[in-house]
């Protein structure tokens, strides 16, 4: 006997339960919508399961390993330090589990129905949700698509036990003696730095003129200095050619400065970007207009060319950042509820969790000038800050970008410890329309790294205390 597939009606269907989707679902539910969220994987998406969170846990463990190895400069010597990497992985997994369980609790607490399965759109108000056994039709008034992205695979570097994507690199059962990283962007440099902290001999091959594209050269110089201290090798303007795999390792061939080179390692990590997950879900059935590189075209409320379907996160234009996806998820949910919310990316931060950390928000000096602003770039070094010196981590700087005529804060770049946390104050200053004087007049606790922001503001005003004019 065949049971009929009777459609289930929902108010808002959210496709994808990563940091964009689950946030959108919760905000939509808070605004009174009846919400169903569906994902073919685990709640939390790439970010919580195999991206942002586990990578930062591994990076932190690497820092702790480095600290355990001691510092003769501080008079601290250690012997026979060992790393039980299986325990590191177990701890990393526990962090992930706490957060994914938390997401499930939040969704259920907001009365969001959770489904596991793949989605295929039939028309602008209908989708099928399929798992290994069943297919169920759902009808919806509105839909938010948040299907995220996947690692790009190079044809000559097919993923395997020895040729890794970021997920594979995060889940290694051993610390590699030697690791080759193809791609010196955020992911490659972060994971390369983490394994270098564990003692791996790391080589980064980058096709561009510098690693960490998108950050200013002054910032990347600080990171490169630290990588070289850890024994890492960075080869820029390098073209990866191919890989030979064996039972025990890989031999990677590449071209640099007109010469063919080979390097042997235990593993090769390929991090050359990500592609949006917009194929094979039926977007063409609905008539959704697509842009370049498989991205979905949206307006300033994240609405697609089909007026009741919205798209957010890695599948729309802009940087593939978890916090951007979450922000867009809130905007889309509010737009569905009739609110006048629109996206405004002027103060969206970007962070690389390297050694030291890099962070930027708003305009950098060049982009501000290109946009027609007359600006001041006020720079203050971590080396002149007491807290940075007491941390024995004083490489780096904060550069504050202000409008010349009125001191309005329009951007900042930070290279240094805790840059990821420090950038939030400047993001708030930009959102609130604050000036350098507003920051300089804000009393910052001493001794803290936060004082560097205040000091940079004083440099912008021409009244620095802890450096000569």
The span from the CA of 38 to the CA of 25, in Å, is 10
Give the containing element (helix H, strand E) for 362.
Answer: strand 358-362
107 and 114 Cβ atoms separated by less than 8 Å: yes
161 annotated to bind ligand = no
Rg value, the chain, Cα: 24
Residue pointed to by tokens 């504050």? 400
- Kindly provide the b/e burial profile for residues 45-66, where b requires at least 16 CB atoms within 10 angstroms of the residue's own CB: bbbbbbbbbbbbbbbbbbeebb
Give the Cβ contact number of residue 327 at 10 Å.
Answer: 21
206 annotated to bind ligand = yes
Give the containing element (helix H, strand E) for 130.
Answer: strand 126-130
363 annotated to bind ligand = no
314 annotated to bind ligand = yes
The span from the CA of 184 to the CA of 206, in Å, is 5
94 annotated to bind ligand = no
Pick the catalytic residue: 63, 226, 444, 446?
446
The DSSP bridge partners found for residue 205 are 182, 235
**Strand 375-381 to 397-403 pairing:** antiparallel
22 annotated to bind ligand = no
Instruction: Annotate 248-309 with three-state secondary structure.
Output: CCEEEEEEECCEEEEEEECEEEECCCEEECCCCCCHHHHCCCECHHHCECCCCCCECCCCCE
56 annotated to bind ligand = yes
The span from the CA of 60 to the CA of 197, in Å, is 10
The span from the CA of 418 to the CA of 308, in Å, is 41
Q: Cβ neighbours of residue 421 under 8 Å, at least 6 residues apart? A: none
446 is catalytic: yes
433 annotated to bind ligand = no
Give the containing element (helix H, strand E) for 10.
Answer: strand 8-15
Three-state SS at 355: coil
147 annotated to bind ligand = yes
- Phi, psi angle pair for 277, to nearest 5°: -85, 75
For the four alpha carbons of 78, 84, 85 and 91, in that order, the dihedral sign comes to negative
Both tokens of 279, joined, read 């194929």
207 annotated to bind ligand = no
156 annotated to bind ligand = no
**Residues placed in the known binding site for NAD(+):** 183-190, 206, 273
**Residues tagged active-site:** 446
**Residues placed in the known binding site:** 56, 147-149, 183-190, 206, 273, 314
**Residues placed in the known binding site for FAD:** 56, 147-149, 314
């Amino acid at each position: 006997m065949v049971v009929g597939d009777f459609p289930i009606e929902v108010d808002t269907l959210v496709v994808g339960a990563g940091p964009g989707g689950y946030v959108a679902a919760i905000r939509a539910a808070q605004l009174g919508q009846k919400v169903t969220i569906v994902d073919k994987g685990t709640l939390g998406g790439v970010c919580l399961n195999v991206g942002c969170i586990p990578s930062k846990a591994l990076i932190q463990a690497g820092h702790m390993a480095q600290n355990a190895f001691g510092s003769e400069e501080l008079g601290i010597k250690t012997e026979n330090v060992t790393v039980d990497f299986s325990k590191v992985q177990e701890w990393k997994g526990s962090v992930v589990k706490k957060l994914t369980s938390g997401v499930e609790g939040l969704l259920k607490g907001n009365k969001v129905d959770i489904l596991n399965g793949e989605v295929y759109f039939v028309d602008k108000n209908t989708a099928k949700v399929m798992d290994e056994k069943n297919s169920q039709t759902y009808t919806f008034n509105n839909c938010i698509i948040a299907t995220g992205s996947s690692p790009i695979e190079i044809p000559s570097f097919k993923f395997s036990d020895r040729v890794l994507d970021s997920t594979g690199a995060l889940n290694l059962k051993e610390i590699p003696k030697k690791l080759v990283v193809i791609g010196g962007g955020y992911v490659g440099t972060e994971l390369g730095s983490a394994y270098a902290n564990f003692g791996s001999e790391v080589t980064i091959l980058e096709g561009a003129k510098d690693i960490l594209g998108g950050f200013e050269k002054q910032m990347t110089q600080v990171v490169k200095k630290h990588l070289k201290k850890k024994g890492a090798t960075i080869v820029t303007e390098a073209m990866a050619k191919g890989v030979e795999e064996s039972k025990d390792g890989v031999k990677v061939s590449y071209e640099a400065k007109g010469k063919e080179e080979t390097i042997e390692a235990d593993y090769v990590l390929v991090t050359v970007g990500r592609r949006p997950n917009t194929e094979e879900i039926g977007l063409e059935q609905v008539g959704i207009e697509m842009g370049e590189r498989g991205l979905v075209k949206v307006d300033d409320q994240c609405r697609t060319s089909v007026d009741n379907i919205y798209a957010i996160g890695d599948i729309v234009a802009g940087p593939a950042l978890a916090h951007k996806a979450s922000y867009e998820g809130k905007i889309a949910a509010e737009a569905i509820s009739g609110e006048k919310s629109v996206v405004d990316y002027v103060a969206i931060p970007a962070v690389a969790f390297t050694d030291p950390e890099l962070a930027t928000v708003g305009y950098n000096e060049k982009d501000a000038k290109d946009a027609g602003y007359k600006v001041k770039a006020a720079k203050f070094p971590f080396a002149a800050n007491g807290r940075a010196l007491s941390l024995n981590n004083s490489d780096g700087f904060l550069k504050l970008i202000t409008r010349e005529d009125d001191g309005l804060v329009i951007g900042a770049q930070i290279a240094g410890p805790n840059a990821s946390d420090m950038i939030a104050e400047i993001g708030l200053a930009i959102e609130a329309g604050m000036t350098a004087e507003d920051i300089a007049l804000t009393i910052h606790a001493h001794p803290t790294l936060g004082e560097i922001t205040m000091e940079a503001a004083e440099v912008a005003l021409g009244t620095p205390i802890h450096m000569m004019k």
